[in-house]
């Protein structure tokens, strides 16, 4: 939020951010989105701004990282919910039938 709201004070130490670091493609097989270490880092340092323009962060600005590992079933549900938010995806209803 800091570039958008210059009146916010930038924290002196760390800013926690969320990224999916690539590696997930809707409707593809796992072998289609396995990344090398360099590809993973590049994806982690990449964002899309409000205008849809892709930008990359300088890796020297990253001091620490937290790698969150979730229960695989939680990931399946999260990806189902994410897929339903995509405008081109219409075949999944928000009920047990759509989920299966």
Which tens digits make up the pLDDT trace of 12-50? 787 777 767 776 666 677 777 788 889 888 888 888 877
Beta bridge partners of 54: 48
User: Is the pTM above the cut of 0.75?
Assistant: no
pLDDT (0 to 100) of residue 24: 65
What is the spatial distance between Cα 54 and Cα 88, in angstroms, rounded to a whole number? 21
Contact (Cβ atoms closer than 8 angstroms) between residue 46 and residue 56: yes
pLDDT digits (tens, 9 = 90+) for 49-58: 778 888 888 8
Distance of CA 99 to the CA centre of its chain: 21
Round to whole Å and give the CA distance between 89 and 15: 33
């Amino acid at each position: 939020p800091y570039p958008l709201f210059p009146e916010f004070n930038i924290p002196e130490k760390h800013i926690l951010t969320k990224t999916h670091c690539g590696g997930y493609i809707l409707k593809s097989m796992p072998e289609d989105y396995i990344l090398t270490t360099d590809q993973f880092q590049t994806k982690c340092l990449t964002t899309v701004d409000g205008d849809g323009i892709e930008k990359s962060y300088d890796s020297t600005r990253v001091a620490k990282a937290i790698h969150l590992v979730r229960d695989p079933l939680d990931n399946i549900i999260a990806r189902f919910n994410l897929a339903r938010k995509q405008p081109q995806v219409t075949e999944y209803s928000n009920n047990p039938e759509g989920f299966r």
